[in-house]
Amino acid sequence: MYEEKQPVYHIETLIRQYGNDVLRTAFMYVKDSHLAEDIFQDVFIKVNKNLSTFQGNSSIKTWIIRITINTCKDYLKSAWNQKVVPMTEYEENTIHTDDDYKAVEQQDQNQLIRETVMNLPDKYKDIIVCVYYQDMTISDAASILKIAEGTAKSRLSRAKEKLKTCLEGRL
């Protein structure tokens, strides 16, 4: 009888293919580029260590993003994070032209949206991150979050309503 073989994954290839997705997801949760880079490393250490246990019930990307989300949540719950106040990076915005002004304004709007998303309850934040920031289908997002597809759809709808309410008059 023919038995389907699992594809062979190499950690370097996975980092190249999904590294930006992991970094973006981590940044969405921890809101600090240096911490996101640390989480990136932790995620790929875990991926490398557990690659042999990947069963293929979802796509490899879905599995890696699930590890990323769990790693971020573990960090945010940790005692270290509760006690340490992160240093923020300040970027000097120099405006010379109308295009510079528009770019800074767009950057501010994107930051406001990101912050608003990150302040949503986890069940709404998670679905938004999966669908809009990771370009996952509702089905993949439901799988990664271990919820029914209908639940994912309703959470996404509620999350968009909450975002709309929070952002009205601010954009």
Nearest to 43 by CA among 57, 25, 56: 25
Q: Which tokens belong to 54?
A: 């990947």
The tally of domains found in the chain comes to 2
Give burial (CB, 10 Å; 0-12/13-18/19+) of 5: exposed
Is 71 in contact with 46 (CB distance < 8 Å)? Answer: yes
**21 part of a folded domain:** yes
**108 part of a folded domain:** yes
The two most distant CA atoms of the chain are separated, in Å, by 69
The CATH number linked to 12 is 1.10.1740.10
Single residue among 86, 105, 120 that ends a domain in this structure: 86
75 and 133 share one domain? no
Single residue among 27, 53, 86 that ends a domain in this structure: 86
66 and 12 share one domain? yes
Range of the domain at 69: 7-86
Give burial (CB, 10 Å; 0-12/13-18/19+) of 114: middle
Single residue among 86, 116, 146 that ends a domain in this structure: 86
Q: How far apart are CA 126 and CA 141, in angstroms?
A: 9
How does pLDDT run along the chain (171 residues), one tens digit per residue?
Answer: 445 556 778 899 999 999 999 999 999 888 888 999 999 999 999 999 999 888 888 889 999 999 999 999 898 887 565 555 554 444 444 555 666 666 667 777 777 888 888 888 989 999 998 888 888 899 999 998 999 999 999 999 999 999 899 888 776
Taking the model in full, what pTM does it have?
Answer: 0.62
